Structure 1
Amino acid sequence: MSGIHERHTGAAATIRKRPGRPRDPIAEQRILDAAINEFLERGAARFTMDGVARRAGVGKSTLYLRWADRDALLVESVRARSRSIEAVDTGSLRGDLIQLTTNLLRFLLEPVGYATFRITVDAVANPAYENVAKELAQRHRHAARRVFERARERGDAIDEAAVDPVVECLYGAVTMQVLNRGLGRPFASDSDLATRCTSTVDLVMRLLEP
């Protein structure tokens, strides 16, 4: 019996799962881009796997091999295409906040940035987007708080109780600009963008005054 067992074990050991079809990284990137564009054009309510497949030039079955449903595809697309807004060091708190606000507003008025804004708003009604919305908010919060940490390292006296209200006011002002303008209506020039962000920061920084 032991010989039979050994032969069976040996035969089983030679069985290997056939490898699946390798991913095509170029096709995958095309799908992620198509999903972002479909979302921006049609919104979450009319976002479909069929629409993404047509836009990407692939079969719908290709999408379902990689993503369970449309929400999973959209979430991964936004996560993969979004980027953190870095806290640039200009040497002063005011300069850092102006640069941070400028970079954020410029990004949110771009297609990918606007998609991250839209999915954050849609997360209120769709729990499938909740985690990625929190992730995005945490990235922005981290960048903003890093500005104040660096100011302390430079020796600035920062009232900790005022940090969150300042950050919320800045992001609130940026959000209103995005809502008012929408996608495809950027500022006429970098100078106009900088002027708007500078006046916003100067107003909000009054919260830091004793």
Structure 2
Amino acid sequence: MTKQSTPVEPHATANAEEPAPAPVRRGPGRPRHADTEERAYRAVLELFGHRGWAGLSLDGVATHAGIGKSSIYLRWKDKRDLLLDALRDLERRYVTPEETEGMTLRDYLVAHATARANLYLGEHGPAISHLYSAALANPDEFQEIRQERISKGVLSLEDRVQRAVNDGELPPDTPTREFLDAIEGAILVHVLVSSPDTIEDMRAKIDDYVATLVDIQLRGVGAAV
């Protein structure tokens, strides 16, 4: 007599599949990548620098940064907020020369103007340059950026120049704002009117250029150089 085998129930098989674990739900705004914000900041500054305000979008930033669109939209409601945060981050990393004991006004101005020039000539120089024209053309969108004075430049030296006037380092009738405008404007124009193939040469000679520029402005207001 042939012995019949006992059928094996499906649930008793050794290779039965385990139920798939439930997906982990992420909280609102939680980054998919640890460096999401850093990548978004870099992307928005690069795109703003190359395309300007009109060519900037959150979708474009997500694509350029290689991150999910949801990661962008969970953090920033529009491109203005993202650009503002990126500029704040850039400001935190911008190194402002400190005044040391015994430093002359000339040396202080040269240090700040050189740092400013290197910012224009640096990685995010195009974005900083576009900032001025965009703020002029879009006053409402850029009002907060104007108020916070995101781009620290030579114009932030007004107090130091005024102190120099009060201490007699500069003549009493020195027009502080105009004096600094001349330095800031000259640096900006110097960078903007130069062709891309001269940037490396400009970087190599920027220290001499800035020193000469500051000396010209100091002589122009009647200060001893």
Alignment CA distance shift 1:138-1:102 (3 Å)? closer
1:139-195 per-position Cα deviation (integer Å, ceiling 9, x unaligned): 436641243256468763552642222111111111211221377853526651111
Secondary structure of the residue that 1:74 maps to in structure 2?
Answer: helix
1:166 corresponds in structure 2 to: 179
The 8 Å contact of residues 87 and 143 in structure 1, kept in 2 or not, is answered as no
1:41 & 1:193 partners in 2: Cα distance?
23
- The letter of the residue matching 1:124 is L
Secondary structure of the residue that 1:111 maps to in structure 2?
Answer: coil
Q: How does 1:73-84 map to 2 (within 5 A)?
A: 73-82=82-91, 83=94
Secondary structure of the residue that 1:188 maps to in structure 2?
Answer: helix
TM-score w.r.t. length of structure 1: 0.76
Alignment CA distance shift 1:182-1:88 (3 Å)? farther
2:48 corresponds in structure 1 to: 39
1:58 paired with 2:77, answer no
The one of 115, 121, 144 aligned to 2:127: 115
Q: How does 1:61-72 map to 2 (within 5 A)?
A: 61-72=70-81
- The letter of the residue matching 1:162 is P
Secondary structure of the residue that 1:181 maps to in structure 2?
Answer: coil
Pairwise CA distance, 1:131:
2.1
The 8 Å contact of residues 29 and 71 in structure 2, kept in 1 or not, is answered as no
2:50 & 2:178 partners in 1: Cα distance?
34
Q: Which runs of 5+ in 2 are unaligned?
A: 1-25
The one of 97, 104, 116 aligned to 1:86: 97
Higher helix share: 1
The one of 132, 141, 148 aligned to 2:161: 148
Provide the identity percentage.
24
The 8 Å contact of residues 84 and 139 in structure 1, kept in 2 or not, is answered as no
Alignment CA distance shift 1:109-1:190 (3 Å)? closer
- The letter of the residue matching 1:129 is F
Secondary structure of the residue that 2:136 maps to in structure 1?
Answer: coil
1:177 paired with 2:186, answer no
The 8 Å contact of residues 170 and 201 in structure 1, kept in 2 or not, is answered as yes
Alignment CA distance shift 1:21-1:63 (3 Å)? closer
TM-score w.r.t. length of structure 2: 0.71
1:13 corresponds in structure 2 to: none
2:30 corresponds in structure 1 to: 22
Alignment CA distance shift 1:25-1:41 (3 Å)? same
Q: Which runs of 5+ in 1 are unaligned?
A: 1-17
Structure whose alpha-carbon radius of gyration is higher:
2
1:184 & 1:53 partners in 2: Cα distance?
30
2:103 & 2:180 partners in 1: Cα distance?
19
